[in-house]
Chain A
Amino acid sequence: DTGVSQDPRHKITKRGQNVTFRCDPISEHNRLYWYRQTLGQGPEFLTYFQNEAQLEKSRLLSDRFSAERPKGSFSTLEIQRTEQGDSAMYLCASSLAGGANIQYFGAGTRLSVL
């Protein structure tokens, strides 16, 4: 399977705990994106990387959120001191720069903060 993979698929945590999600993009894609989706809404952009450089962060990404993409391969998204409002589906996507900006999504990590 050469698609975008995300791990874990589900995460249940208690408020105040830290969580980390991993995304492995399609291998030849140089761009990687993180989105968040809540019930009844479309995905909302959080941040993106071109190779290892983080080029844009949404204002939705508070200081408790941090993302990395070491060596321009896989990426991690960490949420510190989780809050109930962080409960959502976190989606990762990858693409090649240019053209129609077709992004390919993983199945997502569903976070539930109790």
Chain B
Amino acid sequence: DQQVKQNSPSLSVQEGRISILNCDYTNSMFDYFLWYKKYPAEGPTFLISISSIKDKNEDGRFTVFLNKSAKHLSLHIVPSQPGDSAVYFCAASAEDYKLSFGAGTTVTVRA
């Protein structure tokens, strides 16, 4: 069963604009949510995380928002840059060990 879902397989955005990536989850026991970025031929790289007791976390150009009642989180990237073109994975942790991942969203930043 897919506990973490990313329903948009791809996103195209113009350089300088905002990228918004969405993620939905079903397991109310998740206590941490993480976003990873992946370039081809590399492993996923940690980007930003948020605890379930918060609703927003910001790190530079990246902001993650959590809506627990809707079981929804989003990642905002502003402004988008060409180097942001990658696959982005949403992940969640419930028991302090395994991560459950979504299927990923491929972001393409157009010049």
Chain A positions within 8 Å of B, measured between CB atoms, are 4, 31, 33, 35, 40-45, 48, 55-56, 58, 91, 93, 97-98, 100-108
Q: Which of A98, A105, A108 contacts B96 (CB 8 A)?
A: A98
Chain A binding site: helix, strand, loop or mixed by DSSP? Answer: loop
Contact of B32 among A4, A35, A44, A100 (CB under 8 A): A100
- In this assembly, does B42 line the interface, its C-beta being within 8 Å of a C-beta of chain A? yes
**CB–CB B103/A40 < 8 A:** yes
> Given that A101-B32, A102-B34 are known contacts, is A42 also in contact with B98, CB under 8 Å in the complex?
no
Using a CB–CB distance below 8 Å, which chain B residues touch chain A?
A: 4, 6, 9, 32, 34, 36, 41-46, 49, 51, 89, 91, 93, 96-104
Residues of chain B contacted by A102 (CB below 8 angstroms): 34, 46, 49
- Cross-chain pairs A/B with CB under 8 angstroms, 16 sampled: A31-B97, A40-B103, A40-B104, A41-B103, A42-B4, A42-B91, A44-B101, A45-B99, A93-B43, A101-B93, A102-B49, A104-B46, A105-B44, A106-B43, A107-B42, A108-B43
Q: What's the Cα separation between A56 and B96 when bound, in Å?
A: 12
Contact partner of A43 (CB less than 8 A), chosen from B32, B45, B96, B99, is B99
Cα A20 to Cα B100 with chains together (Å): 25
Chain B minimum-CB-distance residue to A97: B96
Contacts of B43 in A (CB 8 A): 4, 91, 93, 105-108
